[in-house]
Amino acid sequence: MKDTFDVIVIGAGPAGYHAAIRCTQQGLHTACIDRSTDNTGKPVLGGTCLNWGCIPSKALLDISHKYAEALVDYKSFGIELGKPKINIKQMMAFKEQVVGKLTGGVRTLMQAGKIEVLSGTGCLIEAGVVSFQPLKKGKPTRLQAKHIILAPGSQTITLSDLPLDESRIVDSTGALEFSTVPKKLGVIGAGVIGLELGSVWARLGSKVTILEALDDFLPQLDRRLASSALTAFKKSGLDIRLGARVKSSRLLSNQVKVKYSDEKGEHELGFDKLIVAVGRRPATENLVDKNCPLKIDDRGFIEVDDLCQTSIEGVYAVGDAVRGPMLAHKGMEEGLMVADRLAGKPSLVNYQAIPGVIYTAPEIAWVGDSEEAVKAAGIPCKTGSFSFAANGRALAGNVAEGMVKIIAHADTDRILGVHVFGPQASELIAQAVQALEFSASAEDIALTMCAHPSLSEVVHEAAMAANNEAIHAVNKQPAKQR
């Protein structure tokens, strides 16, 4: 093993492996250290996202969605299959197969790029120096590099009154591995993980109760859409209780009892399984030697500027371990930006145009600000909305629930935010991200042709509605003459 590189990356999640691959594309001799292993102890690349996050959760979301459709919708389309049955073992095997394909793909890409992949733990000693402890027993090695990129990711936050027991009280990783469908499932936290994994098991037959401490549902989302989403999710069977502050839990022989309080008083509920999904925190413990002056804030985030430069020259940090939303695509873009800049190429991340998606049914997606945030900032704005119920493609596919809302500057017409609750929101939001990236106006989207019939016409009509020119809806006011 060589001990001197141009770049050492610590962490091979989306942020780290993107940085490493781009570094080698730029001709930089790169090593990437990662300590993750699978259930059998075999080293795996791809971090949380590929192994225990984005990908396995989406596999289960998609399978459970197909199952729910087969149970409820197929008959009304004239498709008769008999009563569908879910085989959890096969479902998990499919999920593992998808994960294996992608993590194996990352290893192949790393090898093709001649990246030195080191299985073990990295620790920043000082500028230009990393200590590497191999997974297999052995002494730590001192490695040197001109540049170091820290991409250690994040880990589950646990509650002291609800310690995980890996069997009945689990985090998101445990909830991706249930071997049977729990009859009664409790979820603490109605955030992204709570809603996604709660949906998976509810569709497969669990009676799901989600306890959320906040009084507002998804506060980051436009209020009108959040309210529609809450109604739809409750109708679909998720028992979402807001303002429910969880106090404690106790394990009985066959149940987890959870105590919570809300405005009506104290309550206790019993569940077969409980998922704790109350957020994630940076995985920065022991990442840095105790004598290293790297600045880490009191919540564990590595302090960086807009270019991901840390407090130590030549050391950068990207992904979940730095400020900003904990999203795979945000980390990927940061990794690419740092690598490009190391090679002297100009590159920036546009932090104003990071899409967020919640993969429920219907999906939720947004980019930019909500109407409430724009108004709170004192910016004059106008809005345009359009419903999927008036879209031919959505009706033909029996997915005509939800709407698109566009928020634009009242004077310049520039788009400030787009919020979608509806089918394929995760795909439709790409149209909006590009609009924000190119500083488009609502009129720009309105004048851009969409294929007919397609769901993208809902974004198009919402943009036309922002200037009272929607065709398939009654406009709020007469349109202004151009």
Decide which of ligand FAD, ligand NAD, none touches 34; Cβ closer than 5 to 8 Å per partner kind: ligand FAD
205 and 186 Cβ atoms separated by less than 8 Å: no
Rule CB under 6 A: say whether 23 interacts with ligand NAD.
no
Print the binding letters for residues 287-326 with ligand NAD: x by CB under 6 A, - otherwise: --------------------------------------xx
Any idea which residue has 């949380």 for tokens? 48
Q: How many residues form the binding site for ligand FAD (CB under 6 A)?
A: 34
E strands, 263-361, where? Answer: 265-271, 273-276, 280-282, 315-317, 356-358
Q: Report the distance separating Cα 456 and Cα 461, nearest Å.
A: 9
Spatial neighbors of 158 by CB under 8 A, at least 6 apart, are 164, 171, 276
Judged by CB under 6 A, does residue 232 bind ligand FAD?
Answer: no
Site residues (CB under 6 A) for ligand FAD, limited to 445-464:
none
- 319 is a site residue for ligand FAD (CB under 6 A): yes
- Asked if residue 277 binds ligand NAD (CB under 6 A), the reply is yes
Does 357 help bind ligand NAD (rule: CB under 6 A)?
yes
Contact flag: residue 124 with ligand FAD (CB under 6 A)? no
Please give the helix or strand (H or E) that residue 443 lies within, else none.
helix 442-446
Residues 432-471 that bind ligand NAD (CB under 6 A): none
Q: Using CB under 6 A, pick the residue from 5, 8, 9, 14 that binds ligand FAD.
A: 14
424 belongs to the binding site for ligand FAD (CB under 6 A): no
Under 8 Å between Cβ of 458 and 448: no
Distances (CA, A) of 365 to 334, 358, 442: 21, 6, 18
The correct pick among 172, 206, 249, 360 for binding ligand FAD (CB under 6 A) is: 172
Identified binder of ligand FAD from the candidate list 23, 54, 226, 336, rule CB under 6 A:
54
SS3 360: coil
Annotated catalytic residue 65: no
Residues 109-128 that bind ligand NAD (CB under 6 A): none
Sequential DSSP letters for 77-90: HT---------HHH
According to CB under 6 A, which one of 7, 8, 9, 12 is a site residue for ligand FAD?
12
Q: Which C-beta is closer to ligand NAD: that of 30 or that of 156?
A: 156
> CB of 191 within 8 A of CB of 167?
no
Burial 11-46 (b: 16+ CB within 10 A, else e): bbbbbbbbbbbbbbebebbbbbbbbbeeeeeebbbb
440 binds ligand FAD (CB under 6 A): no
For the beta sheet containing 415-422, the strands, ordered from the edge strand earlier in sequence to the opposite edge, are 356-358, 363-368, 415-422, 403-409, 381-387
Distance CA 15, CA 113 (A): 17
From residue 162, give the alpha-carbon distance in Å to each of 132, 157, 241, 245, 247.
34, 11, 18, 13, 9
**Partner interacting with residue 9 (select from ligand NAD, ligand FAD, none; CB below 5-8 Å by kind):** none
Residue 326 found at the interface with ligand FAD (CB under 6 A) = yes
Query: By CB under 6 A, is residue 226 in contact with ligand NAD?
Result: no
Q: 78 — alpha (psi -120 to 50), left (phi > 0) or beta?
A: left
Residue 186 near residue 269, CB atoms below 8 Å: yes
Q: Which of 122, 174, 402, 422 binds ligand FAD (CB under 6 A)?
A: 122
Q: Choose the binding region for ligand NAD from 212-220, 284-292, 340-348, 412-420 (rule: CB under 6 A).
A: 212-220
What are the DSSP calls for 107-129, one per residue?
HHHHHHTT-EEEEEEEEEEETTE
Query: Which one of 8, 20, 31, 53 is in contact with ligand FAD (CB under 6 A)?
Result: 53
Does position 121 bind ligand FAD by CB under 6 A?
A: yes
Minimal distance, residue 144 CB to ligand NAD, in Å: 34
Which of 28-36, 178-186, 291-299, 406-414 is the region at the interface with ligand FAD (rule: CB under 6 A)? 28-36
**Catalytic residue numbers, as ranges:** 452
Q: Using CB under 6 A as the criterion, which residues of the chain lie in contact with ligand NAD when the complex forms?
A: 159, 188-194, 196, 211-214, 245-246, 277-280, 325-327, 357-359
Q: Using CB under 6 A as the criterion, which residues of the chain lie in contact with ligand FAD when the complex forms?
A: 10-16, 33-36, 47-49, 53-54, 57, 121-122, 151-154, 172, 193, 283, 287, 319-320, 326-329, 331
